[in-house]
């Protein structure tokens, strides 16, 4: 009987062990709006800044770079902005191109002691090869409701979901030098 109770008590914790490797970052790709107010091109996988000191575990186990791209597209569609995801971008090309990179990502804590996750990004919007505006953005998360039942990658996914929403709203009225989310 004690074994059965122990197993039943541990089942919710098994969900906390997920690594966040669901296809498309756990979200489906949003359809593009029919008559968008703007068309923007971004990378399908948002790159990590080259000299950023991001834990190799985050890069290997989590898919925040794909999730961020998905969330920018999803929230962009909700704001009537068509966000096209491609393998590589050309900031000198025609149209609107948004260059985004993950500047920092921190995964501290755990489901048992509490999550302390953080992601910071920066981005520049180009129009026909000319810089229009830039931003920095950051988000923190402790896991939200039932955070103790979520894995580290899942909680980092919450940070990029909020960042995707922040960036999509910024695209509606891109102001140069703006700090989004929890950024200071």
Q: List the domain boundaries for the chain.
A: 45-181
Q: Identify any residues that bridge with 114 across adjacent strands, giving them in sequence order.
A: 110
pTM of the model: 0.81
Q: Please say if the pLDDT value at position 131 is more than 70.
A: yes
- pLDDT of 10-59, one tens digit each? 434 434 333 333 444 455 678 888 899 999 999 999 999 999 989 898 99
Order the strands of the 114-127 sheet from edge to edge. Answer: 81-86, 38-43, 96-110, 114-127, 130-141, 178-181
State both tokens at 14: 């098994």
- pLDDT of 80-108, one tens digit each? 999 999 999 999 999 999 999 999 998 87
Cα torsion 65, 68, 70, 73 to 10°: value is -140
Q: Which CATH number fits domain 45-181: 3.40.50, 3.10.50, 1.10.8, 1.10.1760?
A: 3.40.50
Alpha helix ranges (H) inside the chain: 2-14, 56-61, 64-78, 152-172
Q: Decide if 121 contacts 165 (C-beta within 8 A).
A: no
DSSP string, 6-59: HHHHHHHHHGGG--S--GGGGSPPPPPPSS-SEEEEEESSPPBPTT----HHHH
Q: Quick one: pLDDT at residue 9?
A: 45
């Amino acid at each position: 009987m004690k074994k059965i109770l122990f197993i039943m008590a541990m089942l919710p914790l098994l969900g906390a062990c997920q690594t966040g490797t669901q296809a498309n970052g756990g979200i489906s790709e949003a359809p593009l709006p029919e008559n968008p107010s703007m068309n923007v091109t971004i990378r399908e996988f948002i790159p990590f800044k080259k000299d950023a000191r991001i834990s190799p575990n985050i890069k290997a186990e989590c898919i925040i770079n794909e999730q961020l791209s998905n969330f920018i597209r999803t929230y962009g569609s909700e704001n009537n902005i068509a966000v096209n995801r491609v393998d590589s971008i050309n900031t000198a090309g025609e149209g609107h191109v948004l260059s985004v990179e993950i500047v920092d990502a921190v995964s501290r804590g755990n489901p048992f002691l509490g999550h302390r996750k953080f992601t910071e990004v920066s981005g520049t919007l180009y129009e026909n090869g000319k810089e229009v505006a830039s931003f920095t953005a950051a988000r923190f998360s402790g896991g939200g409701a039932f955070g103790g039942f979520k894995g580290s990658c899942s909680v980092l996914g919450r940070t990029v979901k909020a960042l995707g929403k922040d960036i999509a709203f910024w695209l509606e009225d891109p102001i140069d030098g703006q700090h989004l989310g929890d950024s200071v």
